[in-house]
Copies of this chain bind each other. A is one copy, B any other.
Amino acid sequence: PSTIRTKSRVFKIVTIPGDGIGVDITEAAVAVLQKLAAVSGTFEFEFTEKDWSSKKYQERGYYMPEDGLDQLKKFDAIYFGAVGWPDVPDHISLWGLILPIRNALGQYVNVRPTRVLRGITSPLKDCGPGDLDWVIVRENSEGEYAGHGGTTHGAFSHAIATEVSIFTRVGIERIFRFAFETARSRPRKKLTMVTKSNAQRHGMVLWDKIFTEITKEYPDVETDKMLVDAMTVRMTLHPKTLDTIVATNLHADILSDLAAALSGSIGIAPSSNLDPTREFPSMFEPIHGSAPDIAGKGIANPIGAFWSAAEMVRWLGFTEAADGLMAAIENVTEAEIKTKDLAGASDTKTVTEAVCKEIEK
């Protein structure tokens, strides 16, 4: 033939829509990713869907089949909707699906960028785009989510239960190195490390100690330390002073929800569960949950899902396409095509179509 067509790379993506609005927003994200691939011409996606959900759990007694984790390993990336449903206790659903994936696939980093997008209003006075631009690096494999602990004398008046947080040097060093690399890659090169080492004298003090060591490897990164309680004050009253943030599994879980709220809505916030060694596929999910109250109504905010999709595209190596998707998203929010949680009047489909149209431009 007279024209040579460069062959585009095909990525195998497994989607797990899960529960509630996870289903709505995964569908929306897939549509946007297809459009992005078509326009880019340099990559393609082949989607496989897994119907692992609370509904299935109630039918058959498990979330994932026994070889579930092995099935996932065959893909280039995992796109996750949400898990959690009123009929199943949350600790069953989460330990049945999302937490084992994070743990077994070596996804020891959870990255949560937050900023005030164009057209979106922060609940804070005087806080527009540019005034709040953070990346929260969350330890994703140990700490408060290590899964240790138990209950003794459960049925008696002297019942006692424990939650045991585990911190290892291996786990701490690797999350700090990732956080420093992230900070280094950003214009301001600032890293704030969060602990509660005044009250928690073992794991948290080990965090402090190892942070001091690793800091020496990155003389070009400016660092400071905060206690997790005081950190909420700084985020609320002095958002401009923060850039990259590193915190434990639980602390960053709390701070990243606060960050999402301060940037306008939990519905816009993305997260990437990364295995930086790239031995296993990484997983991308919006940080909002299954939102049973609005599930199936077609009104869920898909922005967090699109932003997560953009981070997946970035992780797969297509920076320009990822930036293009983010620009498309912000053009749409700026045009006031927004869902109800953002004080708009559009439904999921309208926002999705608007983003697809922007991608085509």
Residue of B nearest to A92 (CB): B201
Which residues on the B side are within 8 Å of A237 (C-beta)?
A: 123, 261, 265
Instruction: Determine whether the beta carbon of A236 is less than 8 Å from that of B261.
Output: yes
Residue of B nearest to A95 (CB): B201
Task: State the CA gap A232–B228 with chains docked (Å).
Answer: 13
Which residues on the B side are within 8 Å of A256 (C-beta)?
A: 229
Which residues on the B side are within 8 Å of A164 (C-beta)?
A: 149, 162-165
User: What is the size category of the interface that chain A forms with chain B?
Assistant: 35 or more
A206 lies within 8 A of chain B by Cβ: yes
Instruction: Determine whether the beta carbon of A165 is less than 8 Å from that of B166.
Output: no
* Interface majority SS (helix, strand, loop, mixed), chain A: mixed
Per-residue contact bits, chain A 160-179, to B (CB 8 Å; 1 contact, 0 not): 11111111111000000000
Shortest CB distance A304–B (Å): 13
Residue of B nearest to A99 (CB): B199
Which residues on the B side are within 8 Å of A228 (C-beta)?
A: 253-254
Instruction: Determine whether the beta carbon of A232 is less than 8 Å from that of B205.
Output: no
Task: State the CA gap A150–B166 with chains docked (Å).
Answer: 10
In the complex with contacts A161-B167, A162-B166, A94-B199 CB distance below 8 A: yes
Which residues on the B side are within 8 Å of A163 (C-beta)?
A: 164-165, 167, 200, 202-204
Shortest CB distance A122–B (Å): 8
Residue A167 contacts which of B124, B160, B227 (CB distance < 8 angstroms)? B160
A125 lies within 8 A of chain B by Cβ: yes
A286 lies within 8 A of chain B by Cβ: no
**Chain A, 206-258, CB within 8 A of any chain B CB:** 206, 227-230, 232-233, 236-237, 250, 253-254, 256-258
